[in-house]
Amino acid sequence: MIKLKAFTVLEVLVAMVISSLVIGASYLTYDIVYRQFLNFRQVDGKVVEALTLRNVLNNDIAAGEWVYRANNGIRIVDFEGTECTYTFGEGLVIRDVPTGRDTFHIATTDVKYNGMDGASVGQGLVEALGMAITINGAQNTLSFHKQYGADLLMLAEGANGK
């Protein structure tokens, strides 16, 4: 009788149990990593949108000559008369420019306008704008400032007839 070298049924069962445990642990690890990746992607998208809003609003305020308070937002006007408006609504910020409209899906709360109350330059002139935004439960504060030069204020007073 010739003896063949082979595995016993018990050895094969042990190997199958061990391999199924390794495969199960690998799948569980993959599932955890994949869910974390999806969560990171969602958070990253919201952070990028908030940074984009901050940069665009900052650039618009810096490029504009006048920043006025408008209904639920601000209106930015330059010397050529081109207007850019921002509306701060529930859960989103809308930016209207002559070339189109941008929508940022960001919840703004506690929007504060600091204006030049006693100035004869015009009603609703905004010098500083502050707001709180919430990203994934974390509240962040954004603030923007517009510094007006004396020459612009004198020009505006002259235009108002004062």
What percent of the chain shows pLDDT beyond 90?
A: 41
Residue 107 has what pLDDT?
86
Q: Is the pLDDT of residue 79 over 90?
A: no
Specify whether the CB–CB gap between 125 and 119 falls below 8 A. yes
Q: What order of strands is seen across the sheet that includes strand 83-89? A: 66-70, 73-77, 83-89, 92-97, 100-104
**Domain assignment of residue 145, yes or no:** yes
- The domain tally of the chain equals 1
Is 50 inside any structural domain? yes
Q: Are strands 100-104 and 126-135 parallel, antiparallel or unpaired?
A: unpaired
Q: Residue 162 above 50 pLDDT?
A: no
Maximum CA extent, the chain: 121
pLDDT for 34 beyond 90: yes
Residue 160 above 70 pLDDT? no
Q: 136: pLDDT confidence band, cut at 50, 70 and 90?
A: confident
Whether residue 77 is contained in a domain is answered as yes
The model carries a pTM of 0.69
pLDDT digits (tens, 9 = 90+) for 44-62: 888 899 999 999 999 999 8
For residue 1, being part of any structural domain is answered with: no
Please indicate, yes or no, if residue 3 is contained in any of the structural domains: no
Answer whether residue 4 is part of any domain: no
Q: Mean of the pLDDT values across residues 33-52?
A: 90
Range of the domain at 19: 9-159
Distances 157 to 82, 116, 122, 153 between C-alpha atoms, Å = 20, 13, 8, 6
- Asked if residue 2 is part of any domain, the answer here is no
Query: Residue 36 — very low, low, confident or very high, per pLDDT cuts 50/70/90?
Result: very high
